[in-house]
Amino acid sequence: MDSNAKRGKPGDFSVAQRPAASGKGSTGALALQRAAYAMSVHDARELPRPGVPELAFAGRSNAGKSSAINTLTGRTRLAFVSKTPGRTQLINFFSLGEGAFLVDLPGYGYAGVPGEVRRHWQMLVGDYIASRESLAAVVVVMDARHPLMPLDRQLIGWLREARRPAHLLLTKSDNLSRQAAQRTLAKVRAEAASLCPGATVQLFSSLKGEGIDEAARTLARLAADKNKAPPKGE
């Protein structure tokens, strides 16, 4: 049993109660359920040679990113295996069969993190977003109760600058009433249209299993779009 399981990590939602993203049809060729840890890098120079489309997840610490990755892949602890408290910052790669990588970018906004660590995050993630050839899209994970915080906006600004497709995942939607969740969705969609034109936005709940198919379909589309697109710079 690993340490997360021992602590009974609250984000460790049981996937046995509900299906993960359904495979055929909705996810196309994206093998989310076959996600397997591949590697971690601490420095942009250690990145593997660009290849299959990379679908990256980024978000403030505690936004629900690890839970979302685990929920989408139908695994209980895939992302927690590599979770660190904001000091060791790694980009973690998970292969999705042979067709794509799911990339877990280090979280941001940890309280009490030294400036040196923040600068490392900016360099590592900034470089990855600005110049990674095989990056297909970035999923920006935000707590639906506190969307578009300053660091989220900074990240979205980078995505806009680099012309990266962005998908905004408003997590823990179960914490809001249905009406409040719809209001938040409409508000974030309206703001996203000016912050990062073309960005898509959805509600998501790992706890209730809401939004799984929508997210899986979007990821499959973004990976397919990347395969169709000419290499960056052409």
Q: Please, what sign has the CA dihedral across residues 116, 85, 154, 137? A: positive
**Total chain residues near ligand GDP (CB under 6 A):** 18
Q: Which of 73, 134, 200, 205 binds ligand GDP (CB under 6 A)?
A: 205
- Residue 213 in the binding site for ligand GDP (CB under 6 A): no
Q: Are 95 and 40 in contact (CB under 8 A)?
A: no
- Residue 202 in the binding site for ligand GDP (CB under 6 A): no
Q: How far apart are CA 63 and CA 206, in angstroms?
A: 11
* Distance in Å, CB of 65 to ligand GDP, minimum: 3
- Residue 147 in the binding site for ligand GDP (CB under 6 A): no
Closer CB to ligand GDP, residue 28 or residue 209?
A: 209
Closer CB to ligand GDP, residue 65 or residue 164?
A: 65
Beta-sheet pairing, 54-59 with 135-143: parallel
Closer CB to ligand GDP, residue 34 or residue 77?
A: 77
Closer CB to ligand GDP, residue 88 or residue 227?
A: 88
Closest by Cα among 159, 225, 230 to 192 = 159
Contact string (CB under 6 A) for ligand GDP, positions 73-102, x = contact: ------------------------------
Residues in 169-198 at the binding interface with ligand GDP, rule: CB under 6 A? 171-172, 174-175
* Distance in Å, CB of 234 to ligand GDP, minimum: 35
Residues in 38-77 at the binding interface with ligand GDP, rule: CB under 6 A? 59, 61-67
* Distance in Å, CB of 77 to ligand GDP, minimum: 11
Q: For residues 30, 47, 168 and 144, what is the CA-based torsion angle, rounded to 10 degrees?
A: 110
Where on the chain is the footprint of ligand GDP (CB under 6 A)?
A: 10-11, 59, 61-67, 107, 171-172, 174-175, 205-207
